[in-house]
Amino acid sequence: MRMMNKENAQKILKEWPGLNFVKFVCVAVMVFVHSHLILITDRSYSIADTSGFFYGITSKTMFVGLFLFILPIIAGAIFRMDLGARIVNGRLIDYSFKKVVRIAIFLTLAGFFMNFLTANIKYLFSWNILQLMALSLIIVVALLKFISIRAVFLLGLVTLIAAESLRNFLSDSHFYFINILIGGDKGFIFWPFFPWFSVIVFGFLFAHLYLKYEDNIKFRIGALVAGVAFLAIAAFRGEISPYLDPEYVWGASLFQPKIGLVLASMGLFSVLVVVANYVFSNVQLKKYGIVNSYSKGILWIYVIQMFANYKLAALVKRFFPIDGPSVAYFILPVSMLLLSWLIGAATIKLLQEKLIVVRFKKLDEKSLL
């Protein structure tokens, strides 16, 4: 593989406007969708009145679920960008395996802590997107260090193609670690390894090619064509949108999807990033603006809004009837969107700026030596 020089790598790492805007859109949709579904469902996350206003409007707009499925794609892309120029001839160099283990442990514990705050001790070990990311990062790094990048892409393809067959074969299992692979245990296992590892790998591959070709016109055309093709395949298969299960809105239709739905999420990501790169290439983001805050604070926004959404929703539903369109309905989503902005800005101020200062201090110390 042709390796870029260090200066180009650093420039590209800092300048990916398309990804920043896609992150913003997907985080905003995630926050709104969580608020919406929590408001219109009962404590078992079901919709009793399937003839009501909210069921009708939700069932007709389920395609927005694709934006939620893009989140693990973004995670894969961010991780590849973080590795920078450390992948040489398909192998990972100068990267400690202990580092990714520490990251994985942190993500896993953050996910379990979020489960505890959001639900209760019974759902402490519920498998969510943070746990999926933790497992995936360890596997990706292991393959990169001990085999090659081709093994990463091959395993991603296998998890996509084999997901449905493996799910049918192991569907009677009630073993926690088996269900982590295939899904199951209604209300407990979300984001199973099959097929969702494939979308993380897709994000990793997309960013890998973005770095390799330095976002040139051939890359943009190829990514756009591939994205449209994936969306077309999903539409042809009738799987471009999840369906709304009124008995359990967070059920198998979302997290144990058909292959077309997974391809649709990949296709939408590709199209959005290419278009956003073109449209926003010269846009300077305000440091604490909503776009930059959502983009930089994606992890903590996810964790905190999950907890806050559930708690505030209980208060809203206690004092206001949510059985049709009303001003009261907007209290929760608007509050969560504003809170997410605050969380993102706080992340930039308290975490990222502090890390930058620490890094500069280390550089100064090294220069003195």
Q: Can you spell out the DSSP letters for 76-94?
A: HHHHHHHHGGGEETTEE-S
Is residue 332 predicted with pLDDT exceeding 90?
yes
Tokens of 222: 């190829």
Q: How confident is the model at residue 265 (pLDDT cuts 50, 70, 90)?
A: very high
d(CA 61, CA 43): 22
Contact 61, 244 (CB under 8 A): no
pLDDT of residue 321: 82
The mean pLDDT value for 53-77 works out to: 94
Domain ranges (residues) in the chain: 6-368
Judged by average pLDDT, the poorest of 204-208, 230-234, 284-288 is 284-288
**Residue found under tokens 């603006």:** 289
> Residue range 275-303: average pLDDT?
91
Is the separation of the CB atoms in 88 and 211 below 8 Å? no
Mean pLDDT of 290-300: 93
Three-state SS for 350?
helix
pLDDT exceeds cutoff 50 at 62: yes
**Burial group, residue 130, by CB count within 10 angstroms (0-12, 13-18, 19+):** buried
The predicted pLDDT at position 26 comes to: 97
The DSSP symbol for 256 reads S
For tokens 């802590």, the residue is 113
If pLDDT is split at 50, 70 and 90, which confidence band does 166 have? very high
Please report the DSSP string for 281-329 in residue order: TTPPPPTTSHHHHHHHTHHHHHHHHHHHHHHHHHHHHHHS--SSS-GGG
Mean pLDDT of 233-245: 94
CB 280 within 8 A of CB 18: yes
